[in-house]
A and B are shown apart, each in its own frame.
Chain A
């Protein structure tokens, strides 16, 4: 009883009062799956590398990006960016220009000569990759990094596959492609050019390979029966584009008709324009809405003066003209002939009706199944023959560079596991960070940055690259438009808005932790988290 007058208790801090016991729900930090990552056929952690790009650490961004994709400078040019289609920001103003930022970072890597991290310890396992297209290069890269000895056999004279022999230079300059391929080869991958594999089992046996990844692509042009009166000039799109890589440019004449509605048709029509054709006309049997080609490519082609005859098929090809029949779409959206005909002047007709896979090398492989002209693979990218995997255009799926790179990565993971006698399983996917999970109030208003485009005269007469890259300031601005959906970007909102100081800031790069001794479970941090990286869960009481 030695207390002052009228004092009965010692003074104390409210820290003794653990208000966390009031809680009925608790906040927990989560990493949700951003829609861009979810949509990327190559499985890039786009939100992840944008996080580094936002602070200007492009090398770190590049290292994370190349975990999935060893060809960012190429992909930043030719990918049809499903990530941007899925981007949550599109619901706010416009999607983030992921593709342009990827290109910027890919170009930075080439400019500064960033190298891949040294490969893991050699495993002594040997893997044969057949085909040096995007899928084969991607698989070779991943397998080499896992420590396997990789040999790529390529039938053609140069590596790159459709990136070289299908995509024109004005979309993908060859020095960019060459530099990115050289970086993969630099990992110690053996690249054998002009080395066609005719019999995959013999190649595997003779080369003492432990596994094979097939990625020969689809290079055989599909034909259509066209009555050709007096043998007019008829070419196929793949051959035209391939010959652009040789010494002799194809002679197409002044009036060129391209038959088909895919990206290849547009590539040929745009190439023809650049080769001096006065008229470059695409004949396509359905409407613009139904065209399989990507809208951006069509738009660029139209700007360059390529014409499109919608709802038309070629009935007959003569020496200097073709007969076109008008079509109409029936109730089911299928093109039906109308019986109305029209004549078009044409010095040459280029067929761009799709491509088939050359499957000759697979003759007599036990267990291997072919379905609809492509090779059947299981979820682990393995064909019916153990140890032989396949990907890219020769297996079912969308035929794009991005899908090819994704297949290569996925196959490499499975090959790596298979070589160790294991089976690779996809880690559980996080919950999708959909738009409703965000509190978009907090994001700055910022319109999408546009890439510079080459002037129209040069686009019609040269093969200079059409779409330019970002300057550093624009790249950073655009990266900072990322909403970081579902993943903490350390905005301090949770740390700030907690009325109970129950959020502990762990310092730059280390995010935050909840102090459950004092968290009352009000949920303010959850509703004020801009990016949806906090979830509530019921407390067990």
Chain B
């Protein structure tokens, strides 16, 4: 685990807060003094995972840096719904330039701060999966290889949602998007395409890489805090379900993120200098159907006669993750 979980205090550290814990043990989000970096009145859809994930992450970064933080934002949902001219929902210094250059802008801010000798002011660059894994990938890889002092946070909702749900290189196989419609012979996004950016980031051997979801707040906060303990390039990849693009109920955003982890489809781990250090174990392992069925982007897999073979291939992906990252403690499972 990325943090020491607290057991047996009724809900331990599973819930956002816990009145039975001491002040130091409490999460940033449980505090009335949290910054609400992304404030009310933003125009994200009902139940938006990205709005939630961004507030979780940036509030944690604000707490970790004593509120000395600047953020650069890629084009995407997060930028569009938070800053329609001339309004802003951000309560931090925040800048948007282009779709593909958030990492480069972050690098520039970090360089400027260094010139000014402001070592206490830290830099975050953030974007969605499109701005990160596709359009901004070159700038991001450059930021990594130069080991620029920026924390890059990707909010991954697995497609271009803001422009009407088009496939990105983070879209999972079989998912329906407007560019991977399951019509005729097609069964949605193809197997064998896409890229795993956390592993690519690790391959750059940067100081810190982590994945997280909006279903595990304490884990996400601990990772942002840990990331801020390093200088150099850092990367956190947060899974943020999208009710619109995934086709689940607006009240099920956190449940979907939880299921992504519990089925093994989204491994949650952290790595330092290219080595995996901690893995978030699966608590109650579930078959991938439990994750796929509530989402209309996978509905065609279950429409009679169904695509049991494709579901089996998705299960194989989950099984591979479980094995590769050691997501299940088999000794514990046997007891």
Contact = CB atoms under 8 A, between A and B. Distances in A.
A517 B41 CA distance: 9
A530 interface: yes
13 contacts: A13-B39, A13-B89, A54-B10, A444-B12, A492-B17, A496-B30, A500-B51, A505-B32, A507-B32, A518-B41, A523-B249, A523-B250, A524-B250
B46 A493 contact: no
Contacts of A524: 47, 52, 250-251, 253-254
* Top 7 A-B pairs, shortest CB-CB distance: A492-B17, A496-B16, A523-B251, A14-B41, A522-B47, A522-B46, A17-B41
Interface stretch (B80-88, B178-186, B319-327): B80-88
B67 interface: no
A530 B30 CA distance: 15
Given A444-B8, A490-B17, 7 more contacts: A14-B42, A480-B20, A491-B15, A493-B17, A497-B254, A522-B48, A527-B252
Q: Which of B49, B254, B255: most chain A CB closer than 10 A?
A: B254
A102 B43 CA distance: 50
Given A14-B88, A518-B40, A442 B46 contact: no
B44 interface: yes
Interface on chain A toward B: helix, strand, loop, or mixed SS?
Answer: loop
B137 interface: no
Contacts of B19: 55, 489-491, 508
Contact of A530 (B11, B87, B88): B11
B14 A500 contact: no
B201 interface: no
Contacts of A118: none
A160 to B, nearest CB: 36
Given A480-B10, A499-B51, A527 B255 contact: yes
Interface on chain B toward A: helix, strand, loop, or mixed SS?
Answer: loop
Contacts of B249: 523
Interface string B212-223: 000001000000
A520 B87 contact: no
Contacts of B52: 497-499, 524
Interface of B: 7-12, 14-20, 27, 29-30, 32, 36, 38-44, 46-49, 51-52, 55, 82, 85-89, 217, 243, 249-255, 258
Given A495-B16, A500-B51, A441 B258 contact: yes
A480 B243 CA distance: 35
Contacts of A7: 86
A491 B86 contact: no
A7 B88 CA distance: 15
A444 B39 contact: no
Contacts of B40: 14-15, 19, 500-502, 515, 517-518
Contacts of B82: 14
A446 B10 CA distance: 9
Interface residues of A, number: 54
A11 B88 contact: yes
B254 A495 contact: no
A499 B47 contact: yes
A9 interface: yes
B15 A442 contact: yes
A17 B82 CA distance: 11
A521 B46 contact: yes
A84 interface: no
Interface in A474-491: 477, 480-482, 484, 489-491
A526 B18 CA distance: 18
A13 B17 contact: no
Contacts of A12: 86-88
A491 B87 contact: no
Given A442-B14, A499-B55, A523-B47, A15 B255 contact: no
Given A492-B29, A522-B251, A523-B47, A14 B17 contact: no
A496 B86 contact: no
A18 interface: yes
A126 to B, nearest CB: 46
A489 B51 contact: no
A17 B43 contact: yes
Q: Which of A7, A489, A491, A521: most chain B CB closer than 10 A?
A: A491
Contacts of A22: 46
Interface in A500-518: 500-502, 505, 507-508, 515, 517-518
Q: Which of A22, A505, A522: most chain B CB closer than 10 A?
A: A522
A497 B41 CA distance: 16
A19 B55 contact: no
Given A9-B86, A13-B39, A444 B17 contact: no
A444 B30 contact: no
Contacts of A226: none
B65 to A, nearest CB: 21
Contacts of B250: 522-524
Contacts of B11: 442-444, 491, 530
